[in-house]
Structure 1
């Protein structure tokens, strides 16, 4: 199969969909890989590394997109929609619940769009989301500590405190992978940490992991209302696969936080769970609302591309190899990979994603084609 690797164009997105080692694995199996020049530069991979691995270097994005299978990291940007076509297989993060225009473009194209974030393992895990969730969880505290600094607009709080001075308080909404990794970092810094979660079994597991170092609280409106105003750093870590996260923190509750506190919502690319938080970028990562610093960068792992690219490729490569060898037929033999299919032949096929757009016709592509016919 012919595989395309375009350079990412999202703001300060330095990750790349395939490492030279992954390209070598594909080429050794007889596949052709077209790599756009400088696609891997942000992750520390030179064009010469890809050439040595067996890739063909191409100068323009159109050629990279013109292959049978395109492997990316982040969702296509509007300037890339023109590359969509019916015979294309796209394998990348999509997060369609918060991306109406992208969903429309994918449906109109008739292509097969497979999302990393809904590929499912036999035990129900999300294996292609997990490595980036680990990184994002750890970075949320790293970024939070930075933006609590007075020069960055924060309260001037050192999360770990010091003898005679109380540590900062970190409140984490959600005890999944992101929340757990955030808690590890926050505990390591010496902060006071609370995790609020609905799943009692998960809270029990977290107790075995953290013991008394973390306050583990059952999620309710009353508990959230009690915890949020105490937070120096509030981290949203709620994920509903394929769907928009529920809003747990209202604008009024944000207004009860102390001026200079910091909010980071890791699930902002799925809509987030905090009413006042909107997507930002690495170029302009924060804004202040209700006196609180808001950080809403949806591609947080892009800040550490050398680590993130390799971690992502370790997880995605087995699936890329299957798609390269079998095309869409791979979905029939791998139910977990099939769960990644979000849009196919003009229709939203993933139930959770379809639930985000209940008023749309079953096939937007057919609807658009009818509208384009002469009267």
Structure 2
């Protein structure tokens, strides 16, 4: 198979779909890998390292999209990239379509075969291709909150962990999944006072066993969520409904009553965000203020630590990429139920129910497409 790796063009997105080591694996199996010149340069992966691994360097995105049967990316294709997609071409990347009507329409129109990292499932029902970036974003969220609680950043001027005689900041984490657990781990390590809310009592029990009395676990209800948010100095939104829009759990009215100078980090922003006041931001313009509350809603947080993120992502995505390349997309999906769950759009059909529901498309089951 001819596999293309374009340079990412989203704002300050430095990750790359395949590392040289991943290229070498694919080339060793008889595949041709075309890498756009400079695709990995920002994270220290030189063009030379790709050619040594067996890649064919091409000058621009047009050359990548024009000749590749499968495109391997990190973030969703931007408008100019979507215009380059061809009918039947495989797109393998993060897509987050439920919160993006325009992208969904363009991908349907393209006739391409779109496999979304974030909805591929493992044998245990978890999300193996989303987990590495969720771990990165969860850890980063507390670092970000700590930085933006500083006065020069426009907040109230709190040290997250406090000092002897002065209480630490109160960090509230909404959601006890991969993002939430990673956020709790860093918040506890930095000495914050931590509250985590979820409706999965087993997840709360696990966090209680791991962190003991360093974390307060709370069953999430409208009342408990409101009380926690209003007492927080920083709130981490870590809610996920796989493949669907995130529920808007924190209302505008709640935000209006939060402490002045408090910080919101909405990690769920890729799926629309879990605060009514959330809107997507970029690394160039990461924050805005609503009712005195600073909001950080960057849609590609892990790009800030692009080298770590790229290697972590490749560890998870490569095996599936090899399966698709070795077998072709239809056979690979037919043989792997988890990979089949990753198919969101196929040749003009919306095959993921939550995406179809979000944007008013007819849902065409994957099995029907494969048949």
Normalising by structure 1, we get a TM-score of: 0.95
Aligned to 1:354: 356
1:164 aligns with 2:147: no
Aligned to 1:373: none
Give me the whole-angstrom Cα distance separating, in 1, the residues matched to 2:265 and 2:275. 9
Residues 82-127 of structure 1, C-alpha deviations (whole Å, 9 max, x = no match): 1111120000000001110110011111110000000000110100
Note the 1:331-346 alignment, pairs <5 A: 331-346=333-348
Cα-Cα RMSD: 0.9
Aligned to 2:35: 35
- In the TM superposition, what is the alpha-carbon distance from 1:201 to its structure 2 partner? 1.3
Give me the whole-angstrom Cα distance separating, in 2, the residues matched to 1:28 and 1:193. 48
Give me the whole-angstrom Cα distance separating, in 2, the residues matched to 1:242 and 1:356. 10
1:53 aligns with 2:53: yes
Give me the whole-angstrom Cα distance separating, in 2, the residues matched to 1:71 and 1:333. 21
The DSSP-based 3-state class of the residue aligned with 2:283 is: coil
Aligned to 1:191: 192
Aligned to 2:82: 81
Unaligned runs of 5+ in 1: 364-375
Normalising by structure 2, we get a TM-score of: 0.96
- In the TM superposition, what is the alpha-carbon distance from 1:225 to its structure 2 partner? 1.0
Distance of aligned partners of 1:362 and 1:141 in 2 relative to their CA distance in 1, 3 Å threshold: closer
Give me the whole-angstrom Cα distance separating, in 1, the residues matched to 2:18 and 2:167. 45
Give me the whole-angstrom Cα distance separating, in 2, the residues matched to 1:305 and 1:44. 10
Residues 5-14 or 346-355, more deviating: 346-355
- In the TM superposition, what is the alpha-carbon distance from 1:355 to its structure 2 partner? 2.1
Give me the whole-angstrom Cα distance separating, in 1, the residues matched to 2:274 and 2:88. 36
Give me the whole-angstrom Cα distance separating, in 1, the residues matched to 2:95 and 2:140. 21
Kindly report structure 1 stretches of 4+ aligned residues shifted beyond 4 Å.
Answer: none
* Number of equivalenced pairs: 362
Give me the whole-angstrom Cα distance separating, in 2, the residues matched to 1:211 and 1:361. 47
The DSSP-based 3-state class of the residue aligned with 2:171 is: strand
Aligned to 1:128: 129
Give me the whole-angstrom Cα distance separating, in 1, the residues matched to 2:96 and 2:160. 32
1:91 aligns with 2:112: no
Residues 264-294 of structure 1, C-alpha deviations (whole Å, 9 max, x = no match): 0101010111000110000000011110110
- In the TM superposition, what is the alpha-carbon distance from 1:197 to its structure 2 partner? 0.4
User: Contact 2:344 / 2:350 at 8 angstroms: preserved in 1?
Assistant: yes
Aligned to 2:18: 18
Give me the whole-angstrom Cα distance separating, in 2, the residues matched to 1:361 and 1:332. 22
Aligned to 2:367: none
Give me the whole-angstrom Cα distance separating, in 2, the residues matched to 1:113 and 1:158. 44
Aligned to 1:366: none
Give me the whole-angstrom Cα distance separating, in 2, the residues matched to 1:13 and 1:159. 28
- In the TM superposition, what is the alpha-carbon distance from 1:356 to its structure 2 partner? 1.3
- In the TM superposition, what is the alpha-carbon distance from 1:360 to its structure 2 partner? 3.0
Give me the whole-angstrom Cα distance separating, in 2, the residues matched to 1:362 and 1:239. 21
Give me the whole-angstrom Cα distance separating, in 1, the residues matched to 2:53 and 2:285. 36
Residues 150-182 of structure 1, C-alpha deviations (whole Å, 9 max, x = no match): 000111000100111010000000000100000
Residues 339-370 of structure 1, C-alpha deviations (whole Å, 9 max, x = no match): 1000011111012222212x33568xxxxxxx
Aligned to 2:6: 6
Give me the whole-angstrom Cα distance separating, in 1, the residues matched to 2:106 and 2:139. 33
Note the 1:1-375 alignment, pairs <5 A: 1-66=1-66, 67-328=68-329, 329-357=331-359, 359-361=360-362
Give me the whole-angstrom Cα distance separating, in 2, the residues matched to 1:361 and 1:341. 15
Give me the whole-angstrom Cα distance separating, in 1, the residues matched to 2:323 and 2:208. 39
